[in-house]
Amino acid sequence: MKQSGSRRVPRAGHGRAIAAITLGAIGIFLSGSPVAAGNHRITLVTGELKDPFYVTMAAGAKAEAKKLGVTLVWQGPASWDPSLQIPLLDSVLASKPEFLIAVPDDDKALILPLRKFHDAGIPVLTADTDVADHSVRIGNITSDNTVGGTLSAKTIAEVLGDKGQVFLLCDPPGITTTDNRKAGFEAELAKHPGIHYIGAELYNGTDPTDAARVTDAVMKRSPDVAGMVACDGFAGLGAATAINEAGKAGKVKLVSFDASPDLVSYLKRDLISALMIQQSYIMGATAVDFAVRYLEGDHNIPAETQLKYVVGNKSNIDSPEVQKFLFVP
């Protein structure tokens, strides 16, 4: 069902409803997915192409597209940068896909580019990240990142025995996922009086080398720091490298988001104490399923779908229950 011209795309049927979905529920949900009546053309634009999180999301999206008999095109900028993603989206718009799944690189800068799709009658579903103006998309599917931040704070507090100096290494503001993780982390950490929070430090959000630089600077400035949480996988990789090179493995405890093969390797080497693992494959598959349902006339798509986090540690990382969530290389 191709939507064209200036007709506006209807909003999701559930309005502001939030669907919190577990793997089991999504497995049941996806198993009943209809095969598309036509070979719909869906484009997935991720925040970048290299991140194992997005490689895994795209793998899930491709598998679901193949199962449902639709065409999926995956694109993304070479690095996380709104100035690179915006012209890419303009090019995608010119190709006239039937549906766009987008991972916005900034919650405000990407509003106008996505509104162009909406105004052209091309439905937009945001995934992982989101934009501040929800009227330009029919829904968002993401991890429950506020809860993820809460879990990361509880985990680092438990690892440290509820005492010691802790800091957060995070991305620049304007990215909904990490903004929410920071909020959840700080709210939970305030409930642990034995933990001394020395604040949040920002790195450039894309480069483990920069994350390592910032982590090293904090450890030199605050030699008594006992633990830290890294807001994303690149931050975790850089932080683990800095801790190792400073000879502080086991002395400075690290909890990181995401579960790339390198992060899992660091976990097994005791450079990372725990991983906050997202269901990225399921996120991609569910986004395609929602897209096909919408194009087949079912507009009852949740405005907000939140996937639960899984906490991985050295004792459970090789278990089948956790292995199925790990990112592909």
Q: pLDDT tens for residues 256-291? A: 999 999 999 999 999 999 999 999 999 999 999 999
Task: Indicate the SS3 state at residue 61.
Answer: helix
Pairing state between β 99-102 and 41-45: parallel
CATH 3.40.50.2300 placement within the chain: 18-143+279-307, 145-257
Give me the pLDDT at residue 303, please: 96
All residues at 6 or more sequence positions from 252 whose CB lies less than 8 Å from its CB, including other chains: 219, 225, 226, 227, 228, 243, 246
Instruction: Quote the distance between the C-alpha of residue 24 and its chain's center.
Output: 20
3-state helix, strand, coil in the chain (%, to 5): 40, 20, 40
Q: Using CA of residue 213, residue 144, residue 319, residue 161, what is the dihedral sign?
A: positive
* Strand ranges across the sheet with 195-202: 195-202, 164-170, 225-230, 253-257, 274-277, 310-312
Instruction: Quote the distance between the C-alpha of residue 265 and its chain's center.
Output: 20
All residues at 6 or more sequence positions from 319 whose CB lies less than 8 Å from its CB, including other chains: none
Residue pLDDT, tens place only, 21-74: 444 434 434 545 555 666 899 999 999 999 999 999 999 999 999 999 999 999
Which pair of structure tokens corresponds to residue 110?
Answer: 């990407």
All residues at 6 or more sequence positions from 83 whose CB lies less than 8 Å from its CB, including other chains: none
Residue 228 near residue 254, CB atoms below 8 Å: yes
Residue 224 near residue 195, CB atoms below 8 Å: no
H or E element in which residue 115 lies: helix 111-119
Length of the chain: 329
Question: Using CA atoms, how far apart are residues 325 and 323, in angstroms rounded to an integer?
Answer: 5
Which pair of structure tokens corresponds to residue 151?
Answer: 């879990």
CA geometry: angle at 249 spanning 236 and 253, to 5°?
A: 55
Residue 36 near residue 296, CB atoms below 8 Å: yes
DSSP secondary structure code for residue 113 in this structure:
H
Fold adopted by 145-257: Rossmann fold (3.40.50)
Report residues of the chain scoring pLDDT below 50. 1-8, 10-18, 20-29, 31
* Strand ranges across the sheet with 71-75: 18-21, 304-307, 139-143, 124-127, 99-102, 41-45, 71-75
Give me the pLDDT at residue 24, please: 40
In angstroms, how far apart are the furthest CA atoms of the chain?
Answer: 62
CA geometry: angle at 171 spanning 166 and 175, to 5°?
A: 130
Hey, how many other C-beta atoms are within 10 angstroms of the C-beta on 157?
21
Question: Using CA atoms, how far apart are residues 90 and 277, in angstroms rounded to an integer?
Answer: 32
* CATH fit for domain 18-143+279-307, picks 3.40.50.970, 3.30.360.10, 3.40.50.620, 3.40.50.2300: 3.40.50.2300
All residues at 6 or more sequence positions from 75 whose CB lies less than 8 Å from its CB, including other chains: 43, 44, 45, 46, 88, 92
Give me the pLDDT at residue 37, please: 64
H or E element in which residue 148 lies: helix 145-159
